[in-house]
A and B are shown apart, each in its own frame.
Chain A
Amino acid sequence: MTDLPPPPVKGCREAPVLREFGQREVFCGLTGIIWLHRKMQDAFFLVVGSRTCAHLLQSAAGVMIFAEPRFGTALLEEKDLAGLADANAELDREVDRLLARRPDIRQLFLVGSCPSEVIKLDLERAAERLNTRHAPKVRVASYTGAGTDTTFTQGEDTCLAALVPELDKTDARELVLVGALPDVVEDQALALLNAMGIGPVRSLPARRLEDMPAIGPNTVFALTQPFLGETHGQLIRRGARHIAAPFPFGEEGTTRWLRAIADEFGVPDDLFEKVTAAPRARARKAVAAHAEDLRGKSIFFLPDSQLEPALARFLTRECGMTAVEVGTPFLHRGIMGPDLDLLAEGPVLSEGQDVDRQLDRVRAARPDLTVCGLGLANPLEAEGLTTKWAIELVFSPVHFYEQAGDLASLFARPLNRKRLLKLEAAE
């Protein structure tokens, strides 16, 4: 088993960032609903928007939409655009009908879209009004998932940030893990922290309304996802303190993330070692199996989810890849700092996008692997480039030790496949 390289002398925290403005080939924040509704089991997400919004959710949710999920779109029609007062009455009626049909719903999110923002439909006030009307059975909140305001995973941020001011107040010293993780991953994190004697630990979002954490001056929180800038700000505003750490991807990321929390709670070194030794070894072994396929290969990230800097750190340090460009839709240096410290100087860091110019850079660099969205993946493959579609990294369990090997395999698989397929004639 090879040891990790020492942290770079000079990381990317202070590196210059290429900021681009132009066409952005990204999802809007509405897509966050697709994984958020799975996590929050008693919530319904009602988008107030156009047929485009409904069509987007349908396209992004793929086959999941047929499982009667807990989200939908209140379609704005011609008559709603004519006069605003009417739109509020219409919304109230649709919400009443929805809640009557779905008595299991405890939290309702009114999700703003580009059309609802542009016509300045005040969903915040609508949420207040509906909250009064349906309390205490259902809690109604609002946030924006509009493309004009949010990019892809930012939709989770605006959702959680909208929850924070409503959370109960507490003076207890509790740890809150922030970010919607797949249940299996969340359970692993809780088990590790529990084994170190850290607790109580709460999650934001919780699986059900009654389990939502309380916040106060003694609360400390750790982020499990890098795209939570606004939620981070709201938590600090309520007096909670952030435990800065790299994000828990790979063996190193998970260990450093746990270490930061363990230090906060004064966990002795030998206990930390005892709890983490076995899963660390497992993670290293699992990653090593795929790292052989990835070592020395170059990778180019197009902006998508804000996971890019942390994933670049994992792939360069634990799998031996070289990063050409690390694009992210939004770079929060405070939150991503610890990952940027570990990412050796060299790659272009870019924020925002001008997709045609960025594709020119991809073609010039001809990276071994390009991480991009589904609108670009097949066209780039047709140009002979190998791609890894980014959205899978948000839907699949990839955090913490037991998933470290799976995470590496997501990147190794397209390269292996390219090697396996031999479609030309033998002679």
Chain B
Amino acid sequence: MKLTLWTYEGPPHVGAMRVATGMKGLHYVLHAPQGDTYADLLFTMIERRNARPPVTYTTFQARDLGSDTATLFKDACTAAAERFKPQAMIVGASCTAELIQDDPGGLAASMGLSIPVIPLELPSYQRKENFGADETFFQLVKGLAKPCERTAEVSCNILGPTALGFRHRDDVIEITRLLTEMGVKVNVVAPMGATPVDITRMGAAHFNVLLYPETGESAARHLERVLKQPYTRTVPIGVGATRDFIAEVARLAGVPAQVDESRLNLPWWSASVDSTYLTGKRVFIFGDATHAMAAARIAREEVGFEVVGIGCYNREFARPMRALAREMGLEALITDDYLEVEEAISNLAPELILGTQMERHIGKRLGIPCAVISAPVHVQDFPARFSPQMGFEGANVIFDAWVHPLVMGLEEHLLHMFREDFEFHDAAGASHHGGAAVARPEMGTPAQAGAAEAGSMPAETAPAGAAQGGSPDSVAPAATRADPGAVVWLSDAENELKKIPFFVRGKARRNTEKFAAEKGLTQISIETLYEAKAHYAR
């Protein structure tokens, strides 16, 4: 047993749902207790789908347990086949049904349905969502894809995009465009958008483009073995990876590696002087292995960050992740326990986090800017606008997405300095960073205060306040200033102070007073002001 609060991945049958929901003309009959239909709302709400996922649940209850559940399953299969008239069905069990040991595959096979029925074995107590998606797609391809004549023109299949995939919709559009520009036709995109009939004609393609190893690698390997279709190893996220991908496709397709780069903005944006301050920013990267590894390359080679930590939550890809981390002189963090991730971030104190929605919230607590690079994601990361991660437009999107929170970070920093003016109330946390609501110790810098106060989450957060999204009891009065009677500002010094830009004036005033107090001065002259400035300059 293991205590869990956040889960990076759902159970494997949710992965199977991602495949079924991405496809058309396929229906999933899932042997599951009442309540498991909750997963529908991931698709209808987070991804905003306009139709119910093509899943029929048996929704058995306590009174059905016993011999009845097998009948219930068969009835559900019959009803689904009649009502939805799918081209093929997949059948399987959720975690509870796995325990009652009805055999969905055997039961469905005994029914003699006129369509292909593919049984799924998804071990719920060992594996997780990505495995479920990969395995389901693999079983579909294994069951349905047959050798067939290659297309006359050079063509490929695109493998891996599913429902509820992070930016899968737009990645497919962007990569299809790239391939088209190279003169490569797309035969079938699967699972997303494909029908079971489409799967049967996947063999017509000359090779496969594997976009997401997490959800498509088993199928890609199977097609390589059985249908002799090679598949691409490079995931085209980032400028360098996209160029490598283009070279790889050119080799597999026997076409020139020519693509219009005129829409690619990242290299110039990154080279322009405004980006100089990004140099050496310390970044922590976490997510699914594919996105995290791609992000590391972009961070190091295309934006000029320093990667100080990297990891992934999907153990299936621990090996390549460890290899990459070693190459960077780091040790990979392979875990699905968010507390370990939080501890790592907290110890490393990076200036930027690239992660999932979990890391976004860890970032909020610690007052560290964050950009989302990987599932699991929330509804805001299924945007209305075109926003791929892959290809050249993807590189543009990534540059904006990563730099935005940093620009915001600078704003945040200025705001904090602002707040040292006593008329700005410190508890007024008008910021997108939750860390802003955290009190600052008297003389510390804002960043230290955020880290020190937020600490480790569970034990130290007052539950009632935490549940309301803030921690009221941690909001202390604004930092107390030195007793105004102790040090007197001479009027020429006071006038000089007013010449300093307003957003740093408060800091200058306080630093000068602190400096004077330390030196045992009772009066502040212009001299003192500039001596203090020199003292604090770094």
Contact = CB atoms under 8 A, between A and B. Distances in A.
Interface of A: 22-31, 37-38, 41, 46, 48, 50-52, 54-56, 58-60, 63-78, 80-81, 87, 90-91, 93-94, 97-98, 101-104, 114-115, 117-119, 146-149, 151, 356, 373-379, 381-382
Interface string B349-367: 0000000001001001000
Interface of B: 1-7, 9-11, 13-14, 33-42, 44-45, 48-52, 56-62, 65, 76, 79, 83, 94-96, 99-100, 124-126, 128, 358, 361, 364, 378, 457-459, 461, 463-464, 466-469
Nearest to A80: B1
A249 B305 CA distance: 57
A28 B42 contact: no
Contact of A376 (B10, B39, B44, B469): B44
Contacts of B11: 50-52, 55
13 contacts: A23-B57, A23-B59, A24-B37, A51-B128, A54-B7, A55-B10, A67-B466, A69-B463, A73-B3, A118-B99, A147-B59, A374-B40, A376-B40
For the complex of A and B, the 5 pairs showing the least CB-CB separation, nearest first, are A28-B35, A147-B35, A375-B40, A382-B50, A66-B361
A379 B52 contact: yes
Contacts of A46: 3
Nearest to B464: A41
Contacts of B458: 68, 101-102
B34 A148 contact: yes
B133 to A, nearest CB: 14
Contacts of B44: 374-379
Contacts of A149: 61-62
A94 B5 CA distance: 13
A376 B45 CA distance: 10
A54 B13 CA distance: 14
A74 B62 contact: no
**Which residue, of B40, B364, B461, has the highest number of chain A Cβ atoms within 10 A?**
B40
Contacts of B52: 375-376, 379
B38 A59 contact: yes
Chain A CB within 10 A, most for which of B50, B79, B99: B99
B49 A378 contact: yes
B82 to A, nearest CB: 10
Contacts of B58: 23
A87 B2 CA distance: 11
Given A148-B96, A378-B45, A68 B457 contact: yes
B45, B58, B59 — which one has the most chain A CB atoms within 10 A of its CB?
B59
A374 B33 contact: no
A73 B79 contact: no
Given A51-B10, A382-B51, A101 B459 contact: yes
A76 B125 contact: yes
A59 B96 contact: no
Contacts, number: 201
B45 A55 contact: no
Contact of B1 (A31, A68, A77, A148): A77
B454 to A, nearest CB: 11
Contacts of A66: 6, 358, 361, 364
A56 B38 CA distance: 7
A98 B5 CA distance: 12
A379 B49 contact: yes
Contact of B76 (A23, A54, A73, A91): A23
Contacts of A24: 34, 37, 59
B3 A72 contact: yes
Given A64-B467, A67-B468, A379-B50, A55 B37 contact: no
Identify the interface centre among A65, A148, A377: most chain B CB within 10 Å of its CB: A148
B35 A51 contact: no
B94 A374 contact: no
A374 B1 CA distance: 31
B34 A74 contact: no
Given A51-B7, A52-B95, A56-B38, 14 more contacts: A23-B76, A25-B37, A28-B34, A51-B124, A55-B10, A64-B467, A66-B358, A66-B364, A68-B461, A75-B3, A81-B125, A102-B458, A146-B62, A149-B61
Contact of B100 (A64, A103, A118): A118
Given A50-B11, A114-B33, A149-B61, A72 B459 contact: no
Contact of B42 (A59, A73, A101): A59
Contacts of B467: 37-38, 64, 67, 69-70
Contact of A356 (B3, B83, B364, B378): B83
Contact of B33 (A28, A72, A377): A28
Residue of B358, B458, B463 contacting most chain A CB atoms (<10 Å): B463
Contacts of B361: 66
A373 B4 CA distance: 26
A59 B41 contact: yes
B192 to A, nearest CB: 18
